[in-house]
Amino acid sequence: MPADPLIAPLAPATTGTLAHQSVDPVAGVTATPELDSLEESDSERWIQVGGSILLDSEQAVGEALAPILASGQPKLVLLFCSPSHDLSLAAALVADQIGAAGLIGCSTAGELAPDRSIGGGIAIWALGGAGFSVSTGLGQGSASGLRQAASDAAHCLDGLQRRAHTVLVLLADGLCGDQMEVVRGAYDVAGVDVPLVGGCAGDDMAMQATQQIFGRRVHTNAVVAAAISSDAPLGIGVSHCWEPLGEPMLVTSSDGTSVSTLEDRPALDVYLDAFDAPDEVRSDPELFASWATTRPLGIRRRDRIEIRYVSGADFQSRKLLTIAEVPQGGLAFLMQGDEHSVLEATHMACQMACEGLQGAPLKGMLLFDCVARRSVLRDERISEEIKRINAVRGDLPVGGFYTYGEIARTKGAGGFHNQTLVALALA
């Protein structure tokens, strides 16, 4: 499934808001003397990624941060950290070493570090150089939703020194409310001019609670954001390569992320029967959740199908539970995929992102890869995904994490995805 890359020239926004950091040595808005002393030309930009699977948090942060610090003083650091680590400690360790750089991050369901896909580790993605401007934001939500939190976080755009190309990176609590609301809330502020990318924090598939990092602080039920503005083009690629299993069905009853009936039949029964679910899956919630990982729903859109991850089921009321809205009245597909389609989507998303650079040389990529895609590949073939990524990026730095949902708004006003790979390429 293709998605349009979007390169958006921007003008400065005007409104102000809460909890934001801005780092720009050229504008000198909140720049530190250390940053001011860097002698960088306007065209200089760099991206660096580090990773570690060391169990000790201090050692892991040290190992993952080493290649970044070797590249210079970063302006933005994204910390993707397995919940097996103490995120507060990891954030503090990173913050201690990156000076005035903006720091956001989240807990994960696996990490993408250079040349490898890891679990239980730490991946750190960073950019620097005079050709980037950065600001970061935080929005604290509640159990009832994240729309306002996403708007609050997106207001970091207000303090950003705008260059030719801007993107807003969002990291949200993937277990809080309807994730469509994150895109809608951020879009309320970013508007048509600024594309959105990002992912929902994970918790190593425990599906209990995720965490978001803003500076040294760790939050839950929150959205953190980083606005990146660059002199050079940015490209976004989105692809999932899932295929419909049969004809679409009318969503005859749903309420947000709870799907009651499909074609006026209990949604859970329709789903189990269509996929010919084994007996043990039909009564055990944990087995069901694991089994459903590779059997998403698809929502019919104008020229594509958007994927909705089935996160669980209510066996009493026979409802399917998703982590993003399945609108009543819409058309839903049962979707299927295999290792080949997952790998194909990887290649396609990375390729699309790089094409969005309009010929400018790629400096690095940031990936938001659904954890369900990893489940399809399983450990023995996960390395093939890395090979596909490497085929596009060459030996340039790439990093990211395995998510509970992906964000990519490149056209229209929507842009929440599941079981999809979202790639942000930076020149």
The amino acid that residue 130 corresponds to is: A
Tell whether residue 84 is a contact of other proteins (CB under 8 A): no
**Interface pick for other proteins out of 10, 123, 138, 323 (rule CB under 8 A):** 10
- Encoded one letter per residue, x for contact with other proteins by CB under 8 A and - for no contact, window 255-294 reads ----------------------------------------
Tell whether residue 246 is a contact of other proteins (CB under 8 A): no
Tell whether residue 13 is a contact of other proteins (CB under 8 A): yes
Is the separation of the CB atoms in 169 and 424 below 8 Å?
yes
The least distance separating other proteins from the CB of residue 16, rounded to whole angstroms, comes to 13
- Encoded one letter per residue, x for contact with other proteins by CB under 8 A and - for no contact, window 165-184 reads -------------------x
Helix (H, G, I), strand (E, B) or coil at 38: coil
Tell whether residue 70 is a contact of other proteins (CB under 8 A): no
The least distance separating other proteins from the CB of residue 189, rounded to whole angstroms, comes to 9
User: Would strands 196-201 and 165-173 be described as parallel, antiparallel, or unpaired?
Assistant: parallel
Tell whether residue 414 is a contact of other proteins (CB under 8 A): yes
The least distance separating other proteins from the CB of residue 255, rounded to whole angstroms, comes to 9
Tell whether residue 412 is a contact of other proteins (CB under 8 A): yes
DSSP state of 315: T
The residue whose two tokens read 């029967």 is 273
Tell whether residue 14 is a contact of other proteins (CB under 8 A): yes
Residue 223 CA: distances (Å) to CA of 63, 80, 211, 402: 27, 14, 10, 17
The least distance separating other proteins from the CB of residue 232, rounded to whole angstroms, comes to 18
Q: For residue 278, how many other CB atoms are within 10 A of its CB?
A: 10
Stretch that binds other proteins, among 2-10, 125-133, 286-294, 314-322 (CB under 8 A): 2-10
Tell whether residue 248 is a contact of other proteins (CB under 8 A): yes
Return the number of the residue (55 or 192) whose C-beta is nearest other proteins.
Answer: 192
Is the separation of the CB atoms in 186 and 179 below 8 Å?
no
Tell whether residue 329 is a contact of other proteins (CB under 8 A): yes
The least distance separating other proteins from the CB of residue 329, rounded to whole angstroms, comes to 3
Q: How many residues bind other proteins (CB under 8 A)?
A: 30
If you count DSSP H runs as helices and E runs as strands, how many of each does the chain have, helices first? 9, 28
Stretch that binds other proteins, among 99-107, 185-193, 379-387, 418-426 (CB under 8 A): 185-193
CA angle, corner 8, sides to 170 and 74, nearest 5? 50
Tell whether residue 331 is a contact of other proteins (CB under 8 A): yes
The least distance separating other proteins from the CB of residue 365, rounded to whole angstroms, comes to 24
The least distance separating other proteins from the CB of residue 336, rounded to whole angstroms, comes to 16
**Interface pick for other proteins out of 26, 92, 115, 188 (rule CB under 8 A):** 188
Stretch that binds other proteins, among 55-63, 259-267, 298-306, 343-351 (CB under 8 A): 298-306
Q: In degrees rounded to 5, what are phi and psi of residue 92?
A: -65, -40
The least distance separating other proteins from the CB of residue 422, rounded to whole angstroms, comes to 17
124 contact partners, CB below 8 Å, separation of at least 6: 49, 50, 51, 61, 64, 65, 68, 77, 78, 79, 80, 94, 399
Tell whether residue 302 is a contact of other proteins (CB under 8 A): yes
Q: Residue 123: enclosing H or E segment and its boundaries?
A: strand 122-128
**Interface pick for other proteins out of 187, 242, 401, 402 (rule CB under 8 A):** 187
Is the separation of the CB atoms in 337 and 418 below 8 Å?
no
The least distance separating other proteins from the CB of residue 427, rounded to whole angstroms, comes to 19
211 contact partners, CB below 8 Å, separation of at least 6: 83, 87, 106, 107, 201, 203, 218, 219, 220
Return the number of the residue (10 or 277) whose C-beta is nearest other proteins.
Answer: 10
Q: Which two tokens stand for residue 91?
A: 């954030």
Q: In degrees rounded to 5, what are phi and psi of residue 48?
A: -145, 150
Is the separation of the CB atoms in 117 and 138 below 8 Å?
no
Alpha carbon distance 197, 367 (integer Å):
9
Alpha carbon distance 60, 87 (integer Å):
12
**Interface pick for other proteins out of 328, 341, 375, 390 (rule CB under 8 A):** 328
**Interface pick for other proteins out of 42, 86, 96, 193 (rule CB under 8 A):** 193
205: left (phi over 0), alpha (psi -120 to 50) or beta: left
Interface residues toward other proteins, by CB under 8 A: 8-11, 13-15, 184, 187-188, 191-193, 248, 250, 254, 300-303, 305, 327-331, 411-414
